[in-house]
């Protein structure tokens, strides 16, 4: 009897141990794409504000000058385009107060951590369907890759675009897998709404889900929260002035919508990526619509929907609905805008939903094969993203580093002219020019000469091309353009030409070929005549200067500012 009792105890413990080991190993599998993502992030992230990031310094200034508690609250909720970016501002305020400085890399990291939270939601949903943890690998591969390069390295964009998706999907998880409408679901919906404007879509989509569950008490609770949230969101709301007046034809908008949903296909090594994105977008929308309408038809026949079906309907409706809104409002900027990197989170998450839904609903005999095929397709996107978007990542890093130089050194000597208030808020990022800054201001003439193959001005923009110049590296190395006048110097990045070799699709070091182009606006220069030089930064950070013998003249006329509400 005693031995039988002991054997029984062992048999009860072993399945639990196997389960824990399976969870651990599955977690390690999911961790690989995350580690690759953050390793690449650590190499190319730079603590320099991009575009609207500068407005966060204005927020800190306004918050400091606000006299009353009401005025301080207003600064958090102040309208930004069509959004209430409370979350962005809250993280900014916390970062500044906890660390003593505003660090844009911190904002990028916090934004990227939202992707980790989003992955956790998918893992939990798949576990509800008794799928092993490793079967969330397609989701991990789709969420953590360089397709997101623009959001990855842009503080405000990471906080807004990644977080609103994570919050929305988490809200639908709460609505689908919990027995009643919880305050957690409502809180997630509220926070998503004050993170990005498309968070408003959670409310009508969530209402439909609750109706499908026939939770009429939950409907009342959700409607009450919806009414309060919408009232506060649109309090003193003004239509943003920045959207194009020409919104294109209906055909353009539908075309743009498909491009938006299929934007993840740009990662593939296919020259006509717009066609690839269009085809994938049509396929994704078609499959999502077929699955969604089949599910709704099942409900109308009186068959109760499973939590996974509700989760799928909510997530897909939010993602596809966001695409409709973006296509309608942004197609006037051009169809290419709909495939831009900062929107790819929606296409990739939509793919993650389709793959996860198929895995969750596959029969036990087909589930393994379904997960493997989904992982294979996702791996292709993730793998090629690191070569397809490497040039954009490097160009952005170099652009931000040189822009920091130009607003820091505004005299003909290597002395910072940044005002005291800005220095209190933000530290300059370490850059490739720090160690040899004085060399830029030496009067001696470079002995080497390089001939520009092209130099012209079009639409108030100078364009420079050199057809023969070696590839020096894939980070800070490469050619930079110097515009020098007696009053000051400017530093501009160049775009190294892409290699024509097919090796570049699988080998990052083969990304670039010979030659480069440089483009900069006349408005970026103060009035004056500028001698053009080339600075070559070598693999070991060695510098070499080249004279071009060419000049450009700037009138110093500023660009016409576009209308904005921030």
**Residue 476: pLDDT over 70:** yes
Please give the Cα distance from 150 to 476 (Å, whole number). Answer: 18
**Of all residues in the chain, what percent carry a pLDDT higher than 90?**
87
Burial class (CB in 10 A: 0-12, 13-18, 19+), 302: exposed
How would residue 248 be classed by pLDDT, with cut points 50, 70 and 90?
A: confident
The answer as to whether 560 is a domain residue is no
Domain finish residue from 359, 388, 417: 388
Query: Which of 186-195, 364-373, 553-562 shows the lowest per-residue confidence on average (mean pLDDT)?
Result: 553-562
Same-domain status, 141 and 159: yes
Same-domain status, 226 and 314: yes
The answer as to whether 35 is a domain residue is yes
Beta strands in 333-411 (DSSP E): none
How would residue 566 be classed by pLDDT, with cut points 50, 70 and 90?
A: low
Backbone angles phi, psi at 487, to 5 degrees: -90, -35
Please give the Cα distance from 236 to 78 (Å, whole number). Answer: 10
Query: Which of 99-108, 184-193, 410-419, 555-564 shows the lowest per-residue confidence on average (mean pLDDT)?
Result: 555-564
Q: Look up the domain containing 448 and give its range.
A: 392-554
Position with higher pLDDT, 559 vs 392: 392
Q: In this predicted structure, what is the pLDDT of residue 253?
A: 94
| 338 touches 263 (CB < 8 A) | yes
> Which residue bears the tokens 């807004």?
160
| 163 touches 194 (CB < 8 A) | no
Top mean-pLDDT range of 120-124, 435-439, 445-449: 120-124
For residue 51, what are its two tokens? 């575009």
| 292 touches 149 (CB < 8 A) | no
The answer as to whether 444 is a domain residue is yes
Please give the Cα distance from 376 to 371 (Å, whole number). Answer: 9
Rounded to an integer, the average pLDDT of 454-466 is 95
**Residue 447: pLDDT over 80:** no
If one counts the domains in the chain, the total is: 2
Among the residues of 307-343, which ranges form H helices?
307-330
| 45-94 pLDDT, tens digit each | 999 999 999 999 999 999 999 999 999 999 999 999 889 999 999 999 99
Rounded to an integer, the average pLDDT of 260-285 is 97
Burial class (CB in 10 A: 0-12, 13-18, 19+), 369: exposed
Same-domain status, 345 and 484: no
**Residue 413: pLDDT over 50:** yes
Q: In this predicted structure, what is the pLDDT of residue 117?
A: 98
Same-domain status, 323 and 408: no
Average pLDDT over all residues of the chain? 93
Task: Sort strands 448-449 and 543-554 into parallel, antiparallel or unpaired.
Answer: parallel
Q: In this predicted structure, what is the pLDDT of residue 260?
A: 98
Please give the Cα distance from 63 to 566 (Å, whole number). Answer: 14
Same-domain status, 375 and 426: no
Write out 95-128 in H/E/C secondary structure: HHHHHCCCCHHHHHHHHHHHHHHHHHHHHHHHHH
**Of all residues in the chain, what percent carry a pLDDT higher than 70?**
95
Please give the Cα distance from 180 to 177 (Å, whole number). Answer: 9
Domain finish residue from 349, 371, 388: 388
Rounded to an integer, the average pLDDT of 303-310 is 96
Q: In this predicted structure, what is the pLDDT of residue 238?
A: 87
How would residue 506 be classed by pLDDT, with cut points 50, 70 and 90?
A: very high
- Residues forming a β-bridge with 492: 481
How would residue 500 be classed by pLDDT, with cut points 50, 70 and 90?
A: confident
Q: In this predicted structure, what is the pLDDT of residue 551?
A: 96
Rounded to whole angstroms, what are the CA distances from 75 to 55, 450, 565? 12, 52, 13
Same-domain status, 102 and 223: yes
**Residue 344: pLDDT over 80:** yes
Rounded to an integer, the average pLDDT of 297-317 is 95
Position with higher pLDDT, 1 vs 310: 310
Domain finish residue from 362, 388, 414: 388
Same-domain status, 406 and 424: yes
- Residues forming a β-bridge with 363: none
Backbone angles phi, psi at 549, to 5 degrees: 70, 15
**Residue 3: pLDDT over 60:** no
Secondary structure (DSSP) of 196-257: -GGGGGHHHHHHHHHHHTT-HHHHHHHHHHHHHHHHHHTTT----S-S-S----HHHHHHHH
188-200 b/e with 16+ CB inside 10 Å = b? bbbbbbbbbbbbb
Q: In this predicted structure, what is the pLDDT of residue 12?
A: 36
How would residue 557 be classed by pLDDT, with cut points 50, 70 and 90?
A: confident
Q: What is the CA radius of gyration of the chain?
A: 26
Q: In this predicted structure, what is the pLDDT of residue 562?
A: 66
Write out 407-455 in H/E/C secondary structure: HHCCCCCCCCCCCHHHHHHCCCCCCCCCCCHHHHHCCCCCCEECCCCEE
Same-domain status, 411 and 330: no
The answer as to whether 565 is a domain residue is no
Among candidates 136, 177, 205, which has minimal Cα distance to 371? 136
**Residue 100: pLDDT over 90:** yes
| 110-150 pLDDT, tens digit each | 999 999 999 999 999 999 999 999 999 999 999 999 999 99
Taking the CB of residue 451, how many other CB atoms lie within 10 A of it? Answer: 11
> Which residue bears the tokens 């993280």?
91
Q: In this predicted structure, what is the pLDDT of residue 6?
A: 38
| 24-48 pLDDT, tens digit each | 999 999 999 999 999 999 999 999 9
**Residue 18: pLDDT over 70:** no
23-50 b/e with 16+ CB inside 10 Å = b? eeebeebbeebbebbbebbeebbbbbbb
The answer as to whether 559 is a domain residue is no
3-state DSSP helix/strand/coil percent for the chain, to nearest 5?
A: 65, 10, 25
User: Any idea of the CA torsion for 130, 133, 136, 137, to the nearest 10 degrees?
Assistant: -140
**Residue 370: pLDDT over 80:** yes
The answer as to whether 62 is a domain residue is yes
Same-domain status, 434 and 454: yes
- Residues forming a β-bridge with 483: 490, 532
Same-domain status, 187 and 323: yes
Q: In this predicted structure, what is the pLDDT of residue 384?
A: 98
Same-domain status, 346 and 300: yes
Rounded to an integer, the average pLDDT of 252-259 is 96
| 524 touches 490 (CB < 8 A) | yes
Same-domain status, 475 and 404: yes
| 53 touches 104 (CB < 8 A) | yes
The CATH number of the domain holding residue 416 is 2.60.40.10
């Amino acid at each position: 009897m005693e031995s039988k009792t002991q054997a029984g105890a062992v048999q009860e413990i072993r399945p639990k141990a196997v389960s824990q080991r399976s969870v651990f190993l599955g977690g390690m599998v999911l961790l690989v794409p995350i580690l690759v993502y953050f390793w690449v992030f650590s190499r190319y992230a730079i603590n320099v504000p991009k575009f609207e990031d500068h407005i966060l310094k204005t927020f800190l200034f306004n918050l400091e000058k606000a006299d009353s508690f009401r005025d301080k609250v207003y600064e958090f909720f102040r309208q930004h385009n069509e959004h209430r970016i409370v979350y962005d501002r809250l993280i900014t305020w916390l970062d500044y107060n906890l660390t003593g400085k505003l660090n844009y890399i911190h904002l990028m990291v916090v934004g990227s951590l939202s992707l980790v939270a989003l992955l956790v939601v998918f893992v939990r949903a798949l576990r509800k369907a008794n799928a092993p943890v490793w079967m969330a690998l397609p989701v991990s591969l789709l969420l953590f890759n360089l397709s997101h390069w623009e959001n990855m390295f842009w503080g405000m964009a990471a906080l807004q675009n990644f977080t609103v998706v994570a919050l929305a999907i988490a809200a639908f998880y709460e609505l689908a897998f919990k027995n009643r409408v919880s305050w957690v679901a409502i809180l997630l919906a509220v926070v998503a709404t004050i993170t990005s404007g498309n968070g408003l879509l959670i409310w009508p989509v969530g209402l439909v889900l609750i109706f499908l569950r026939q939770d009429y008490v939950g409907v009342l609770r959700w409607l009450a929260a919806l009414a309060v949230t919408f009232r506060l969101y649109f309090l003193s709301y003004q239509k943003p002035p920045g959207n194009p007046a020409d919104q294109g034809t209906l055909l353009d908008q539908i075309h743009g919508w498909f491009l938006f949903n299929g934007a993840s296909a740009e990662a593939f090594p296919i020259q006509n990526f717009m066609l690839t994105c269009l085809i994938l977008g049509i396929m994704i929308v078609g499959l999502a619509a077929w699955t969604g309408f089949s599910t709704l038809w099942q409900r109308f026949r009186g068959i109760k929907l499973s939590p996974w079906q509700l989760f799928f309907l909510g997530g897909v409706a939010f993602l596809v609905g966001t695409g409709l809104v973006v296509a309608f409002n942004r197609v006037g900027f051009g169809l290419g805008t709909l495939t831009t990197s900062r929107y790819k989170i929606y296409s990739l998450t939509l793919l993650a939903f389709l793959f996860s839904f198929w895995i969750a609903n596959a029969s036990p005999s087909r589930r393994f094969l379904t997960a493997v095929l989904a992982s294979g397709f996702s791996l292709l996107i993730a793998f090629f993203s690191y070569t397809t978007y490497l040039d954009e990542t490097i160009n952005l890093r170099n652009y931000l580093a040189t822009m920091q130089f130009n607003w820091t050194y505004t005299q003909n000597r290597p002395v910072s002219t940044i005002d005291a208030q800005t220095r209190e808020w933000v530290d300059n990022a370490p850059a490739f020019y720090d160690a040899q800054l004085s060399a830029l201001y030496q009067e001696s003439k470079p002995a080497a000469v390089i001939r520009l193959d092209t130099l012209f001005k079009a639409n108030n923009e100078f364009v420079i091309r050199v057809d023969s110049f070696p590839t020096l590296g894939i980070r800070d190395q490469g050619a930079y353009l110097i515009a020098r006048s007696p009053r000051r110097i400017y530093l501009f990045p160049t775009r190294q030409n892409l290699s024509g070799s097919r090796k570049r699709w699988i080998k990052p070091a083969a990304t670039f070929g010979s030659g480069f182009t440089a483009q900069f606006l006349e408005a970026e220069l103060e009035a004056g005549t500028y001698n053009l030089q080339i600075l070559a930064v070598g693999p070991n950070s060695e510098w070499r200067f080249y004279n071009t013998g060419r000049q450009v003249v700037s009138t110093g006329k500023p660009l016409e500012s576009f209308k904005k509400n921030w």
